[in-house]
Amino acid sequence: MKRHDPAAPHVDALVAEARQALAAGDVGRAVLLLRQAAERAPYIAPLRVLLGSAEARAGDFGAAEANFRLALQSDPADAAAHANLGNMLKRKDDLDGAIAAYRAALDHDPRLIPVLYNLGIALREKGEFTEALACYDAALRADSSFVEAWYNRGNVLTALGDYDAAIASYDEALRRRSGYAEAQYSRSMALLLKGDFAAGWDAYEARWQARSFDTPERWTHLPRWTGDDLGGRSILVWGEQGVGDEIRFYSILGDLLLVAKSCVVAADPRLATLLERSFPNLVVCPKRVASDDPAVGGVDVQSPVASLARFRRRQLADFPPPRPFLRADPQRIADWRGWLSGLGMRPKIGISWRSGKPKGPKRVRYTDLDAWAPMLAAAQADYICLQYDDCAAELDAFAARHDNRIHLPPGLDRRDDFEGQAALYTALDLVISAPTTVADLTGGLGVPSWVVVHAPHWPWGIWPEAGPNGQPWYANLRMIDTRSRGGWEGAFRSLADELAAFVAAKNEKAGR
């Protein structure tokens, strides 16, 4: 319906009332009014965009997307409709659709700086880092005060491995917005990836203020340990972040046990018996232990586990030569060896190809299992699935396509039974993993492992100065940088030769 139609005055009144409702925060009423207006004037593209935007604010994303599409049917050149459709598709994880919609919006109106910014975010999540950087640079040429663009530009530069430029971008964001916690937190990780551990650990304390950091600070009624002498005093170390992060930083516990009167660890319950076996002098209690629990009575100071590194790993030289620090249950190791021997005489290799939550910026760190097929086909080995999500159908489809079976370990809770996982990993000849908790556990156990990293990120950076394994944390864990090998395809092609050589050496040593 055109603006000169008889219904137009009524539509104008409804829209005006809806705008007032939106300004007052009454989104539900605004949606009702705008729907009435759209019934009277169904072909006015800006009205459909306004209705869709209100529906999105109300959480009705399906209706919002439908209205943005109706707006484009009425006016294919409506940049706002393209931009808002991109937001809906991005929310659905349809990155290709979102990128196309954002680009269409910019084709019709290149001045839409927020759309440039959103396009950069979508491109980054897709792994198109160079294109994402170009979007942020264009947005900042148009508006150098766009603080979030400086911040996300830093994130893209970090993903590209240009840590100095990333830090400079975070610094610019912080210059323009003092106390910007997300920028401080991301800057700390860029410093750590660069190898500036002293400055990085100090800045890493900003994590507690960052929205993207989901561990609340605890035990604040006790003094925080500040790196001073622990002689004659007891320390409580409490777990934070994910279980893989806990494992990594528990490598520092041995330092504390040498000097503290006692060391209590409030750990993820899944790690309790593993830690007790590995550190006999350690007192282990649940992560959510109450402050009046006898286990924590008499504690003098406390520290989140990652903050230990601030005082014990301030430079690469502070890292002791990596050694295994976790010990699996010998009986369960024997049980798994029995099962593995039943599969045949070939070497046994565990694989894990993704995290359980590969969404958002994390998705670019992983590739699908099919990409691993050329490497797995290169060696005569028995492959064991170490994924901690439900992947049985995925394994069946892989076996059908590639005639290569990956075995699921029977009766093992691959998500929560860390004792069983530790025993199985110890019984394997090699583990090849994406950067996940699987890799942290194999590293702590000292199991030979290769970690395939695409776009190094904290804490899965690559530090050439640390030696041939490329990292200072774990014994026998070797970092594989896909970008230095021509991307995913090139990396798996070169790893195919290395895996074949590894298996041949194992067979020769075993006399097979």
The H or E element spanning position 407 is strand 406-407
* CATH code, domain carrying 83: 1.25.40.10
- For residue 3, is it within any domain? no
Q: Dump pLDDT digits (tens) for 263-300.
A: 999 999 999 999 999 999 999 988 777 666 777 778 99
* CATH code, domain carrying 391: 3.40.50.2000
Same domain, 76 and 164: yes
Q: Dump pLDDT digits (tens) for 240-264.
A: 999 999 999 999 999 999 999 999 9
How much is the pTM? 0.91
- For residue 19, is it within any domain? yes
| Whole-angstrom distance, CA of residue 87 vs CA of residue 358 | 20
| Whole-angstrom distance, CA of residue 88 vs CA of residue 74 | 19
> Can you read off the two tokens belonging to residue 38?
């759209």
Same domain, 383 and 498: yes
Residue 305's contacts (CB-CB under 8 Å, 6 or more residues apart) are: 237, 238, 239, 240, 245, 246, 249, 250, 252, 265
Same domain, 334 and 302: no
Q: Dump pLDDT digits (tens) for 16-36.
A: 999 999 999 999 999 999 999
- For residue 476, is it within any domain? yes
Reduced to 3 states (helix: H, G, I; strand: E, B; else coil), residue 295 is: helix
Q: Domain boundary at 252, 280, 314, which?
A: 314
DSSP state of 316: G
**Residue 144: C-alpha distances to residues 71, 137, 151, 156, 512 (Å):** 32, 9, 12, 17, 66
pLDDT band at 363 (very low <50, low <70, confident <90, very high): confident
- For residue 461, is it within any domain? yes
Is 400's pLDDT higher than 90?
yes
Maximal CA-CA distance, the chain? 92
Q: Domain boundary at 281, 314, 347, which?
A: 314
Same domain, 191 and 273: no
- For residue 323, is it within any domain? no
pLDDT at site 358 = 67
- For residue 223, is it within any domain? no
> Can you read off the two tokens belonging to residue 189?
């990780």
Q: Dump pLDDT digits (tens) for 113-123.
A: 999 999 999 99
Residue 217's contacts (CB-CB under 8 Å, 6 or more residues apart) are: 208, 304
Same domain, 422 and 283: no
Same domain, 239 and 346: no
Same domain, 388 and 490: yes
Same domain, 21 and 157: yes
- For residue 403, is it within any domain? yes
Same domain, 403 and 269: no
Residue range(s) defining the domain that contains residue 485: 330-510
Our count of domains for the chain comes to 3
pLDDT at site 3 = 45
Same domain, 196 and 272: no
Same domain, 341 and 473: yes
Same domain, 458 and 356: yes
Reduced to 3 states (helix: H, G, I; strand: E, B; else coil), residue 224 is: strand
The H or E element spanning position 191 is helix 181-194
- For residue 258, is it within any domain? yes
| Whole-angstrom distance, CA of residue 189 vs CA of residue 164 | 12
Q: Domain boundary at 289, 314, 339, which?
A: 314
